[in-house]
Amino acid sequence: MRVMVTGSAGFIGGHVVEAVEAAGHDVVGLDVRTGADVRDAGVLDALLPGVDVVVHQAAKVGLGVDVSDLPDYASVNVYGTAVLLAAMARHGIERLVLASSMVIYGEGRYTCALHGEVRPGPRAVTDLEEGRFEPPCPRCGEPLTRAVIGEDARPDPRNAYATSKLAQEHLAANWARETGGSAAALRYHNVYGPRMPRDTPYAGVAAIFRSELEAGRAPKVFEDGHQTRDFVHVRDVARANLAAMSAAARPGELRAWNIASGTPHTVGELAAALAAERGGPEPQVTGAYRLGDVRHIVASPQRALTELGFLAGIGFEQGMKEFAWS
């Protein structure tokens, strides 16, 4: 197949290109770092002829700094995806693999002893200020037990990045319905690994911790360090893209999959693992918080296993040993 990879020079996109080429496919790369912008219809019209599938990784990532980032998230992620989909329709390309994200869920899935499954709203600033980080039951205020979240959960984006990723899914679903194309949305959980961006406010937490350790500083862990995430290695994510490219098509539909390791860890455990591998300093739990953050988000990887045959192969300990020095 001839495959266009947008964001081909980026962290995840570069690994996707390597996996796609290793599988014997031809790659057409598009990346703003090399002067090709996904928002440029003329560039797309020059590159898309002969392409069989588009793997769309190009995006502005991270939680963002403040509301001044809103125009960029809307321009790159939302408008850029719209321009790409319109170009794909012009050129009769019927297969899209979209890099989506677990951030569209907001808080994860919880159960209450009295009320069963619930989805808490945003945490109150007063609770965060006073160190009460666990979301209570939205109906009775009692403590909750976290559970895994599946792809059919109601979206509840809590920041500009999350909103833009959900908008990408909606646009891709519109494109699929109107053209008869098939869209695969891969909802990445916390991706880490070699070539991860560093020293930028848009970097992921793993990269931020590693940069602090490289500078001889203690990683600063927000809240109490017990917030839970699923950390999945970038090479596993690349394999998931390859699997989605060849998955059975669903004409006229968008189908979503969680791309996760299936083994959650706390942010505190992440910091401790990296610090131990590099010989310190020990992480510092600060109690600070960011309003756009959620407390727990843990995925069910079952649908990806059943439908894509995807199972993450790089465990947390192995991945952290490599990442600490990559």
**Residues with catalytic annotation?**
161
Q: Is the dihedral of CA 61, 65, 70, 72 positive or negative?
A: negative
245: left (phi over 0), alpha (psi -120 to 50) or beta: alpha
Residue recorded with tokens 């059943």:
306
The alpha-helical segments, DSSP class H, found in 91-204 are 125-129, 160-179
Cα–Cα distance for residue pair 296/292, rounded to 1 Å: 13
Cα–Cα distance for residue pair 242/97, rounded to 1 Å: 9
Tokens of 72: 């960029």
DSSP category for residue 296: B
Burial of 254 (0-12, 13-18, 19+ CB in 10 A): buried
Cα–Cα distance for residue pair 103/63, rounded to 1 Å: 9
Cα–Cα distance for residue pair 280/97, rounded to 1 Å: 40
Element of type H or E holding 257: strand 253-259
Cα–Cα distance for residue pair 152/185, rounded to 1 Å: 13
Q: What share of the chain is helix, strand, coil (3-state, %, to 5)?
A: 40, 20, 45
What is the SS3 assignment for 14? helix
Phi first, then psi: what are they for 111, rounded to 5°? -125, 145
Q: What angle do CA 312, 315, 317 make, to 5 degrees?
A: 165
